[in-house]
């Protein structure tokens, strides 16, 4: 093969790199790579098994695209934190309900799942396909990308526009966006653009986490009445029934905080956190090619029995001291894993944590959550099952939400009036 022909070959097949220099992984097939070994569901559980087969980091490829799975938090810290100058980019694709904002957020999450599925887009392996006309057979990805771009643009503008409209009526709740918007001079389009992207990042980084965790919260409270009872006792002792909980109560409700940590650990909303190196890098003697999709398997890290004994059991007490902790040791805070790493840590983390505390505490203060029982006395199943995708949610289930006695519901009605 001549130098010229070799250059053309590598350009068409960027995955053609000496396997001896790459991290270990499953053997690929010609052209297809490991396409047939990429799961269509439960990615995180499937890749978790690779820890025992290939070690903390495993490599695979689909067509010409490089992928690496990290199942070791120490490797994640080394690459995403200590080498964040290299690993702070996202993988580059060739094509980039009644509540309007919630509806947009759900659509954006769906688009992200579709866009990042390994092997879904042939154009990622053969970039020359991006120049095909939209009507060409097999070029449906172009129409998909144009539609996705419009949805992303709508989502980016939505939080800022929502606040601007509310501020115009002078009937709005002060927020990060309203506070900064009031300081931006008129006609300062650059300032508004910066705030627009900041608000969209915070909102997108927090909403999906809150929705998924709250679904799991209702499921687990219905399944574990003993945990719910202890949490309600704590809330009643500190707050009572004559006022609604607020954010200043958080330091005084340690068991509520343990429940939140366990919810985040039990089901990381984003089980695979993806970064990409902006240049070739070496780790432990292995080459990590530029542009590799490096996926930190957060689910594996929060279900590693060495770090979290009995990982498949819902045990908020694992984050308490030895007095109540049945596992025998206080375990690491999963918040340091589930919100991302390095410079790409989730910008909505503080928003999510405070919102979850308020939602969970207020729910336990006002309501009791029980299994649903029909007229014949049959109890609706409360199975622990999750969706598949970039973000993971509990599958639909039924439960009963009953108001607690006292002044609680009256206080809520007064606030809403």
- The string of DSSP codes covering 273-327 is EEEB-SS-EEETTEEE-TT-EEEEEHHHHHT-TTTSSSTTS--GGGGS-TTT-TT
Q: Are 338 and 269 in contact (CB under 8 A)?
A: yes
Span 161-185, mean pLDDT? 68
Provide the edge-to-edge strand list for the sheet that holds 293-297: 57-62, 65-70, 293-297, 272-275
Residue with tokens 């990615």: 43
pLDDT > 90 fraction of the chain, expressed in percent and rounded? 42
Q: What is the pLDDT of residue 172?
A: 56
Residue with tokens 């060495």: 306
Q: Which of 96, 87, 95 has the alpha carbon at shortest distance from 278?
A: 87
pLDDT > 70 fraction of the chain, expressed in percent and rounded? 73
The residue count of the chain comes to 417
Which domain, by its residues, includes 301?
37-416
Q: Which of the four pLDDT bands, split at 50, 70 and 90, describes residue 361?
A: very high
Residue 295: inside a domain: yes
Residue 30: inside a domain: no
280 or 106: which leads in pLDDT: 280
Residue with tokens 């984050």: 319
Q: Are 26 and 34 in contact (CB under 8 A)?
A: yes
Span 247-254, mean pLDDT? 96
Query: Considering Cα of 151, then 153, then 159, then 161, what sign does the dihedral take?
Result: negative
Structure tokens at 336: 């340091």
Residue 85: inside a domain: yes
Angle between helices 100-115 and 140-168 (to 10 degrees): 150
417 or 72: which leads in pLDDT: 72
Residue 163: inside a domain: yes
Count of domains for the chain: 1
Q: Which of the four pLDDT bands, split at 50, 70 and 90, describes residue 1?
A: very low
Half-sphere exposure of 151 (CA within 13 A, CB side): 19
195's enclosing H/E stretch is helix 189-223
Q: What is the pLDDT of residue 319?
A: 93
Sequence-separated (6 or more) residues with CB below 8 Å from residue 364: 221, 228, 231, 232, 235, 256
Span 128-151, mean pLDDT? 69
Span 238-246, mean pLDDT? 93
Q: Which of the four pLDDT bands, split at 50, 70 and 90, describes residue 311?
A: very high
pLDDT digits (tens, 9 = 90+) for 140-158: 667 767 777 777 677 667 7
Among 10-19, 23-32, 76-85, 370-379, which stretch is predicted with the lowest mean pLDDT? 10-19
What does DSSP assign to residue 81? I
Residue 320: inside a domain: yes
Q: What is the pLDDT of residue 310?
A: 94
Widest CA span in the chain: 84
Q: What is the spatial distance between Cα 308 and Cα 393, in angstroms, rounded to a whole number?
A: 21
Residue 154: inside a domain: yes
Residue 369: inside a domain: yes
Span 95-110, mean pLDDT? 53
Q: Is 346 annotated as a binding residue?
A: yes
224 or 353: which leads in pLDDT: 224
Among 303-307, 310-314, 345-349, which stretch is predicted with the lowest mean pLDDT? 345-349
| Domain of residue 44, CATH code | 1.10.630.10
Residue 335: inside a domain: yes
Q: Are 365 and 244 in contact (CB under 8 A)?
A: yes
């Amino acid at each position: 093969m001549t130098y010229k022909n070799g250059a053309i070959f590598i350009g068409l097949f960027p995955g053609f790199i000496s396997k001896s220099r790459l991290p270990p992984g499953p053997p690929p097939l010609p052209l297809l790579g490991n396409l047939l070994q990429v799961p269509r569901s439960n990615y995180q559980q499937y890749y978790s098994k690779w820890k025992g087969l290939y070690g903390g980091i495993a490599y695979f490829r689909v067509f010409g695209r490089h992928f690496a799975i990290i199942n070791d938090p120490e490797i994640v810290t080394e690459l995403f934190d200590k080498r964040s100058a290299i690993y702070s980019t996202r993988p580059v694709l060739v094509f980039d309900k009644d509540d309007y904002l919630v509806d947009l957020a759900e659509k954006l999450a769906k688009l992200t799942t579709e866009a990042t599925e390994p092997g879904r887009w042939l154009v990622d392996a053969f970039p020359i396909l991006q120049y095909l006309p939209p009507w060409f057979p097999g070029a449906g990805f172009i129409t998909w990308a144009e539609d996705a771009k419009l949805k992303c643009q709508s989502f980016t503008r939505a939080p800022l526009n929502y606040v601007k409209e509310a501020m115009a009526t002078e009937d709005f709740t002060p927020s990060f966006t309203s506070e900064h918007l009031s300081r931006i001079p008129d006609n300062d389009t650059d300032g508004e653009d910066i705030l627009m992207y900041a608000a969209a990042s915070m909102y997108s980084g927090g909403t999906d986490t809150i929705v998924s965790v709250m679904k799991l919260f209702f499921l687990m409270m219905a399944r574990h009445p003993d945990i719910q009872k202890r949490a309600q006792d704590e809330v009643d002792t500190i707050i009572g029934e004559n006022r609604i909980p607020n954010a200043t109560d958080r330091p005084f409700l340690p068991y509520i905080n343990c429940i939140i940590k366990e919810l985040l650990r039990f089901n990381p909303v984003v089980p695979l956190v993806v970064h990409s190196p902006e240049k070739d890098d070496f780790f432990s003697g292995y080459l990590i090619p530029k542009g590799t999709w490096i996926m930190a398997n957060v689910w594996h890290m929060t279900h590693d029995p060495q770090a979290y004994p009995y990982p498949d059991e819902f045990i908020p007490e694992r984050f308490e001291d030895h007095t109540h902790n049945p596992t025998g040791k206080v375990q690491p805070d999963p918040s340091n894993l589930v919100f991302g790493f390095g410079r790409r840590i989730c910008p909505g983390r503080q928003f999510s944590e405070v919102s979850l505390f308020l939602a969970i505490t207020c729910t336990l203060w006002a309501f009791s959550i029980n299994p649903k029982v029909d007229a014949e006395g049959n109890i609706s199943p409360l199975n622990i099952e999750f969706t598949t995708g970039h973000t993971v949610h509990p599958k639909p289930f039924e439960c009963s939400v009953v108001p607690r006695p006292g002044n609680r519901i009256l206080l809520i009605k007064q606030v809403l009036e």
